[in-house]
Structure formats: C-alpha cells, structure tokens
Amino acid sequence: MKPAKKSAFRWMLMFTLLATVFLFFAEPAFIKNTKDGTEAIHIKGCTSILVGKEASTDGSVMTTHTADCGICDWTWHHVPAADHGLDEQRKIYHINQIKTWPPEQGGKWTMALQEGYTGLDIPQPKHTYSYFHGVFGYMNEHQLAMGESTIGCRREMRNPTPAAKFDITMLTLLAMERCRTAREAIKLMGSLAAEYGYGFHDSGEMLAVADPEEAWIFEIMPVGPLWTPESGKPGAVWCAQRVPDDHVSVCPNESRIGEVDLNNKDMFLCSSNIISFAQDKGFYDPESGQPFNWKKAYSPTQGSAFSSGGRRGRLWRFFDLAAPSKDFNAKTPNMELPFSVKPDKKISLQDVMRFTRDKYEGTSFDPSKGIKAGPFNNPNYSRSFRFQEQRFDAPRCICVNNVEYTTITVCRNWLPDSIGGMVWLAFGAQDTSCYLPLFAGMRSLPKSFRIGDHWEFNQQSARWAFDYVDFHTQVMYSYAIKDVRKQQQIWEDRTLKKMPAIEKTALNLHRKDPLLAQQFLTDYSISHAQRAIDAWWDLGNHLLVKYNHFRIYDPEHRRSRRIAFTDEWKKALINQQK
C-alpha cells in the first residue's frame, strides 16, 4: 500500500473510532447555550407530533412519540381489562422514566412496582380497560392515545419530595385504565395531580392526548417543594389546548401553549390555579396589561433554530415540512412560532413516518454534509461535544439514533375501537428501523417485545434485531442506508397495502363475534412482527458481509471493490497532509 493510501486509511479508521465514541458517550441532552440563554433540558428529550382529523388524508387523528433516551427501558407490555370489587384499591407508584434494572432482577416493570410504592391507594373503578404501555401508556381499547415530550419548568417549581404522589408515567397508566376520551383523560390526570401532588421524578411534561375526534396538547408542572396536601392548594398546575381539527402541531421539548382563553372550554381545559399561581410566584403581573401566556409564565425559553445552530430547530423544521408555503423563518424565536398550523396538504401515515425520520435534509442544518459527517455522510456523527473547556453544539434532529422506540398512534372514528385504534411501533433508530402495526383490540403482544435491555445482547429481544442493523449501518452509512431503505419500503409499503384487507376481515369477524376479531388481529400482528424481526436479523447479516473491511462484497459473483470517500472528506485529507 502506498504511503498516501495508508495515511488516508488511518485517518478514516481514526475518525470512525472517534465517531463511535461520540455515538455511545455523547450526552443526548440540550445544553445551556450562552448566546441565547436557553436552559438545559435533561436526557428525557422526545418529539411529539399531532395531526387533527381534518388535517389527515383519511380522517384519522394521529400522534407520535420518539422516546429519545439511550439508556431507558424499551420493553412493551399489554395490560388486560379487569373487573374490580367495591372495596378494591389501586396502589400508586413513583415510576422513573430513566431508571432500569437488570433482566435477572425482573427488569423495570417488576422492580419499579416493588420499590416505587408511594403509600397512596385510590379506589378502583368497577372496570378498567386494556391498554399498551412502554415507558408511558400509549393506547387503550377505546382508542385513547398518547405521546410524550419533556418540557421542563422554572427551577423553583420543581417538587422532588415524597409529598408529590404522581409523576407523568403513573398518570398516563391511570388514564389508560379509566378513560375513553382525550377530554376525560386530561380531566382525570389534572384532578389527580392537583389533589395528590405532581412531580417527584418529573418536572414540566407534555402529553399529546388524542381520541378518534380530537387531539390535545396537555402540559403539567409541579408547584414547588413546599407543597403539602394539608395546604388545601392544588399540587400541580396544568393546561390543555386542543389542536384545531384541520391543523397539525408538534412538541419538541418546549412548552407550546401560549395565550389561554379560559372562557373557551371547547379549546382549553385548565387547572383552577393556572393564573393565581403565576401571580403568587411573580411569574405574571395582571397590571402589566399583557394577556396571560402559559409558556411565558411557567416555561420560558429563548432562541431560534438559527441562533442555536439547529439545536432548537425541530419546531421550525416540522412547520417547514408540513407547511412550506408559509415560509417560516428559521430566525423566528421559537416562542413566537404558532401553536399549530394548517398543512399545505393533508398528512398521511406515510408522511408522519417520514417526519419522524427527518434529519434536516436539504437545509443549512443538514448533519450529513461536510467533514462533520465523516467519509460516508453519516448524520449521526454530528453531536454536541466539549473540547478544551468549550462546548460545541450540533443540530438536534427529529430523528436521533439514541431513541428507544417511536410510536405513531392512529385513531379512526369510522371503525370499531378494536380495529380503528392502531399503534405503529418502530424499535430503535427510526432511520434504520421498521414500523410494526399493533391494533387496539389485541389481547397480547409478542414475547420478544417484553424482554431485553441495553447492557446485554439478546437475540430473543425484538429490539436487538433493529440495533443489529443500526450498528452495521453506521460504519458505511451512505452505502448501507440504501439497503435499509429498500427493506423499509418493502415491509412498510407492503403492510400498508394489505391493511384494507386485514381490516375488512376483522370487521366481518367483529360483526359476528368481537372476540374473534380481537384474536384475528392479535394473531396477525404477532405473526407480522415476527416475520419483520427475522427479516431485520437477516438484513444485519447482509450488511456485515457486504460492507466488511470498508469494502463492498458481492457474494453472488464472489467479487469485492473499494469504497469511495465523499469529496468533502478527500479535501479534508488533502488539507491535513499539506
């Protein structure tokens, strides 16, 4: 090998190793930016998209949740419906979004219930509904659906004391068990938090709460560490705003509710202390002549997509994707961008899948361009980092590779709940994963969904199949991602084309016997998931062979060829050697 080629290869190998370190150890949180004064938002960084029924192509209401974490529990569980006696009580638990336990100890959902009991019991209703949950409750048998995004709050509002009996996870589980509609869920969660206190593990949180008719942004915050039930004051402050039926909205870890019309009960639901608490704390002065603004009072932030170099660009980016004709300016402060927007065209399920995979392609924030993307245009190399006591920030995309899973919930009012409600679930990074359909009427989930964690490779876990593909894609991203996208298109497009026939069969069975329809949907979804998981294991093996040793191997013809670097990378190598 000639010296120049050896040098180029060494640099390429060094960059790959360094990038791998960044991928695994770089902090996935927003960090304080000295230019715009933005507060740090911790590791619980997620994006939630909402689509109203008149904004979608088929009349469905949709929400998403990208569970961005990197160390959290990824398992999924089905809780069956149940009947309860008159004196039966429901134990309330503190459930940390982040903390996990080893599988040999039973994992998160065994240990959290053993260690997290708050001492509070509340009466059980006569009947509780079946539902799916991961880190949060996502959909129940009546098509009540949710997504989540941490938004933070003013520091003095946080309440980590045991007096706060509820955190956000527990609230979502109770809503799934007890509520049929978004409005019911919002009122239940708000009333429980106000009565028994909210906080402990969590600060400000947003939930996208939906049913077949409506989509709401629900935001809730603690009221400080001095609160006690004996005070007689609400233990939380909360507000919910409805997304207009012909609009779309998004929450990218920022409070989204602005001015509140307390008289418009069709569009706003709020706690009794929404304004009085802000006045008592000095967050709002009614004598100022300014209308009360929820986010300015309780979770103010500064900066824009432009001022933060794309680190706070998801809000602008989603509106730009959904309504490009409105030409939203990346320099507009996020606090001044609208709550929701009417999209240029109606949004399909495929569009939402595409939105969740967005990495700023075609914008000035595109992380797949330039030397920062390495020799193979890898957008995942672009991460915030520290060097010589300086912080260097990078664009934060909707699609990040530290995501545990992504959900797209679909609620449809023209079908029975068991068929109309769906969760499309993608384990791991959206750009290398595959969306799997789950129906609200399912009676169980695949065993492979319920096992596995980050610290122990397990071929029986569904998630590891998708991580296996993701790992082999990162090495030569610009080449390998093309193979992955082909498989995504095959599996997702084929599944979407089959859906009308699947739903027609289920509907015919439902008319005869709803239980038969539920069993059919269960069998179909579990079988489909297993076939897709097997296909992803095969895809990982294919990528390992095809792109081994930074070459491209052709097993069919038993040939191999060298790879080509990007022009940006070649120029960087040349400049380095001068």
Domain of 426 in residue numbering reads as 415-546
Find tokens 């610009």 and name the residue.
478
Do 263 and 144 lie in a common domain? Answer: yes
Q: Give the chain's domain count.
A: 2
Do 303 and 431 lie in a common domain? Answer: no
Do 344 and 421 lie in a common domain? Answer: no
Q: Which of 204, 172, 198, 201 is nearest to 185 (CA)?
A: 172
- The confidence score (pLDDT) of residue 42 equals 40
Question: Helix 182-196 crosses helix 168-178 at what angle (to 10 degrees)?
Answer: 130
Do 350 and 465 lie in a common domain? Answer: no
| 129 phi, psi to nearest 5 deg | -90, 155
In a domain, 13, yes or no: no
Q: Comparing 11-15, 70-74, 410-414, 554-558, which segment has the lowest mean pLDDT? A: 11-15
d(CA 351, CA 357): 10
Do 352 and 435 lie in a common domain? Answer: no
pLDDT average, residue stretch 411-422:
98
Task: List pLDDT tens digits, range 484-514.
Answer: 999 999 999 999 999 999 999 999 999 999 9
Exposed e or buried b for every residue in 154-182, given b needs 16+ CB within 10 A? Answer: beebbbeeebbbbbbbbbbbbbbbbbebb
In a domain, 569, yes or no: no
pLDDT average, residue stretch 24-47:
42
Do 159 and 276 lie in a common domain? Answer: yes
- The confidence score (pLDDT) of residue 3 equals 47
Sheet holding 422-427, edge to edge: 248-251, 48-51, 61-68, 403-411, 422-427, 436-439
d(CA 565, CA 376): 6
In a domain, 557, yes or no: no
> Does the CA dihedral 511-515-519-521 come out positive or negative?
positive
Q: Which of 402, 361, 351 is nearest to 380 (CA)?
A: 402
**Could you tell me which residue, 236 or 37, shows the higher pLDDT?**
236
Q: Whole-model pTM?
A: 0.91
Q: Comparing 20-29, 48-57, 474-483, which segment has the lowest mean pLDDT? A: 20-29
- The confidence score (pLDDT) of residue 21 equals 34
- The confidence score (pLDDT) of residue 458 equals 96
pLDDT over 70 at 127, yes or no: yes
The DSSP string of 72-93 is S----EEE--EE--TT-EEEEE
pLDDT over 60 at 9, yes or no: no
In a domain, 388, yes or no: no
Q: What is the CA radius of gyration of the chain?
A: 24
Task: List pLDDT tens digits, range 316-343.
Answer: 999 999 999 999 999 999 999 999 999 9
In a domain, 403, yes or no: no
Q: Which of 360, 381, 397 is the last residue of a domain?
A: 360
Residues pairing with 259 in the sheet: 293
pLDDT over 80 at 131, yes or no: yes
pLDDT over 90 at 18, yes or no: no
pLDDT average, residue stretch 142-150:
98
pLDDT band for position 44 (cuts 50, 70, 90): low
- The confidence score (pLDDT) of residue 566 equals 85
In the chain, pLDDT over 70 holds for what percent of residues?
92
> For residue 311, which amino acid is it?
R
In a domain, 565, yes or no: no
In a domain, 214, yes or no: yes
Q: Are 405 and 398 in contact (CB under 8 A)?
A: no
pLDDT average, residue stretch 113-131:
97
- The confidence score (pLDDT) of residue 576 equals 78
Q: What is the mean pLDDT of the chain?
A: 91
Q: Which of 218, 230, 134 is nearest to 181 (CA)?
A: 218
Do 432 and 347 lie in a common domain? Answer: no
**Could you tell me which residue, 540 or 3, shows the higher pLDDT?**
540
- The confidence score (pLDDT) of residue 15 equals 39
- The confidence score (pLDDT) of residue 370 equals 86
Do 341 and 425 lie in a common domain? Answer: no
Do 189 and 310 lie in a common domain? Answer: yes
**Could you tell me which residue, 388 or 412, shows the higher pLDDT?**
412
- The confidence score (pLDDT) of residue 385 equals 79
Q: Which of 360, 377, 398 is the last residue of a domain?
A: 360
Do 295 and 425 lie in a common domain? Answer: no
- The confidence score (pLDDT) of residue 36 equals 34
pLDDT over 70 at 34, yes or no: no
Do 298 and 212 lie in a common domain? Answer: yes
Structure tokens at 332: 């507009």
In a domain, 451, yes or no: yes
Q: Which of 329, 344, 360 is the last residue of a domain?
A: 360
- The confidence score (pLDDT) of residue 155 equals 96
Do 275 and 153 lie in a common domain? Answer: yes
**Could you tell me which residue, 261 or 572, shows the higher pLDDT?**
261
pLDDT band for position 2 (cuts 50, 70, 90): very low
